[in-house]
Structure 1
Amino acid sequence: MGTYSKIKGLSDVDVSGKTILLRVDFNSPIDPQAGLILDDKRFREHLYTIKALEKAKTVIITHQSRPGKKDFTSLVSHAHRLSELLGKQVKFVDDIFGSCAQDAVRSAKTGDVIMLENVRFNAEENLKLSGEDAAKTVLIKNLARMGDIFVNDAFGTAHRSQPTIVGLPEVLPAIAGLLMER
C-alpha cells in the first residue's frame, strides 16, 4: 500500500511577513476592444485566498487567454477589477520578472497586492514541461527570486504542465490556496 502525503494548505504555514507568489486563474470573458471584463466569477472565487494572505506581500501571477486569440491581452483591467472587489488598490506591473517587477515586489509592504503582467506574454509559459524542466526556465528562475512561498490557487489550470504551475513548486515551498483546497 502506498503512502499519501497531505498537501499543505494556508492553515499549515505561517505566511506573515513573507512574499507570496500566488498563481490564480483570472482568465475571463472580456470585450477585447474595450478591455472590459464581462464576468468576474473567477476573481470572486479567489478573493478568500487573497484576503487570507493579508499578513504577507501577495504577488499575483495569472493569464488571460493565449497567443493568437482575440482576448489575449494585458491584465490592466484585471487589476482594476480586483481592486474594486478587494476594496483596496492592486498595483499592476506591466512586467513579469524584469527590473520593474522586482522593484515593485521589493518596495511592497505587508498587505500589498501586486498583479504582474499576463504571464503568457512570456513564451516559456506556453510550453508543456515536466516540473524538473520547468524549474530550469528563465521564467521560473526569475519569478522564484521574488518570492518566499508559492501558493497555487489556480484550480482551473492545475491540470496544465506549464512552468508557473509545475515549475514553481520545484523551487519554492508550495501550498494550496483556499479555492484549490475546496
Structure 2
Amino acid sequence: MAWKTLDDMDLDGKNVLIRVDVNVPVENGKVTDTTRLDRISPTVLEVLSKGGRPILLSHFGRPTRGFDLSMSTQQVVPALSQVLNRRVHFASSCIGQTAREAVDTLPDGDVLLLENTRFHAGEKNNDRGFAKDLAALGDVFVSDTFSTAHRAHASVAALATLLPSCAGRLMEEELKALTNSLSEPERPVLAVVGGAKVSSKLVLLKNLIGPMDKIVIGGGMANTFLAAQGHQVGQSLCEHDLQDTAREILAEAEAANCEIILPVDVVVAREFKEFAENKVRAADDCPRDTMILDAGPDSVENICNKLEDVKTVIWNGPLGAFEIPPFNTATDAVALKVAEMTEDGQILSVAGGGDTVAALKKSGAAESFSYISTAGGAFLEWMEGKTLPGVAALDDTK
C-alpha cells in the first residue's frame, strides 16, 4: 500500500480540507489536555506555509441526536488558536451555505474549524452524498487522523476518494512507525501485550504469533494463561472459560517458533487498593484468598533479559494494575528499560492504546520511546491485521 504525502501536493491558493482529531478532554468549557492539538499542528502550519487555506474537519464526542452544544467543536477554538498561534475561525455547520460562506471569507493565514461532523447522520453511515457536500468546500483533502482511521465514516473514508488526497504529517508518522514495527520490522521483534482480559485481545494475540519472535503477556490476561497451565490464581481477575483458548494460543506459538513469556513470579494482595499489603510469590503459588496485581521482580528481570536480544518492541497494555501503587512497579521497570535501550539506539520502540500511553507517561518512559501512537482502537486494529478504511482510502496504487 502506498499513499501520497504533503510533499506530493500543490497547495498554493487551495482550500485544503484537513481531517483532524480535536476530540480532546474539556472541563468547564476549557481544554485540559492539548496533546491531540499539538500533534496536528505541524500539518496545519505546513499547509499555511505552502499557501494553502486550512479548513479543519473533526468529530467531538458521540452525539446521537444531531446538534448537542456540549459536543460542539467550537469549545476547542481558543486552545487550538493558542497551539497554532494563528487566528482560528469557526463555522456552525460543516456543510451547506454557512460553511461555504465561512470558507469564502477565510482570510489568508488564518484557520477555519467546522462544526462536529457527527452532528450529521451521513458521517457515520459513510454516506457519499454527505461526503460530496464536504468535498464541495475544498480543492484538496489531507487525512491527519489515524486515531479514526478504523472508522468507515464519510469525512475519513469516502471524502478521500472525491478529492486529490494525501496523508498529513501525523498520519504519515503513524503509518511509517507501524509499518516499521509490525509490517516490516527489524528482527528479532518482541511485543508486550497486557491488559485485563484475553477476550478483548484474542484476535491481536493470534495475529501477532506469526510476525513476532517473542510475546510478553502481562496484566490480568496473564492470569488466564497461568490458570491454563494448571496454576492456582486465587481471587485474581481470570477468564476461566478461556483456558482452552489460552492453551491453543500457546500451542500455536510453539509451532510458529514464537516464544510466549509469562510471569515466573507475581505480586499478590488481599485488597485492591493503593499500598495494600502485598507479597511476592512464585507464579504457581498464589494463595486462594489473594489476587495477582503485578508481575514480580524475577519476571521483570526475565523480560529485561529477553529485551537484550531484540531490535524492535511493540507495546500495547500494562503488566499490572499500574493505576494503583505499588502495582505499577513491573510496568515502570520494563518501560524504563525499553526507553533506555531506545535512547542508546539499540531498539525501535512503538507503543499505543489508551492505558498504554497513560502507563508509559506515568513511568516517565514515554518521551524516550521511538513513537507513541495517540490512536486507541485504530492502533489495536492495525496490530490485529485489519484493513483500516481511512488508510485504504488513501491507497495511491488503486
TM-score bin (small chain): 0.7 to 0.9
Contact 1:24 1:46 in 2 (8 A): yes
Tell me which of the two structures has the higher relative contact order, counting C-alpha pairs closer than 8 angstroms and 6 or more residues apart.
Answer: 1
Please give the residue correspondences for 1:10-159 in structure 2 after superposition, counting only pairs within 5 Å.
Answer: 10-31=6-27, 34-54=28-48, 55-68=51-64, 73-127=71-125, 129=126, 134=127, 136-137=128-129, 139-159=130-150
Give how far 1:22 is off. 0.3
Give how far 1:168 is off. 0.6
Residue aligned with 1:165, SS: coil
Give how far 1:68 is off. 4.9
Choose from 152, 169, 172 the match for 2:163.
Answer: 172
Contact 1:19 1:57 in 2 (8 A): yes
Give how far 1:71 is off. 9.4
Question: Deviation per CA, 1:2-58, whole angstroms, max 9, x where unpaired?
Answer: xx5x31000111211110000001111222xx2221211000000000000111111
**Can you give the 5+ residue segments of structure 1 that lack an aligned partner in the other structure?**
none
Matches of 2:69 and 2:3 in 1, distance apart? 34
**Aligned residues, how many?**
169
Normalised to the residue count of structure 2, the TM-score between the two structures is 0.41
Query: What is the CA RMSD across the aligned residues, in angstroms?
Result: 1.8
Give how far 1:91 is off. 0.1
Moved more, 72-81 or 150-159: 72-81
Give how far 1:72 is off. 5.3
Q: Which runs of 4+ in 1 moved over 2 A?
A: 68-72, 109-112
Question: Deviation per CA, 1:118-137, whole angstroms, max 9, x where unpaired?
Answer: 1111121122x4xxxx3x22
**Can you give the 5+ residue segments of structure 2 that lack an aligned partner in the other structure?**
174-398
Identity rate of aligned residues, in percent?
36
Normalised to the residue count of structure 1, the TM-score between the two structures is 0.87
Contact 1:96 1:118 in 2 (8 A): yes
Bigger radius of gyration among the two: 2
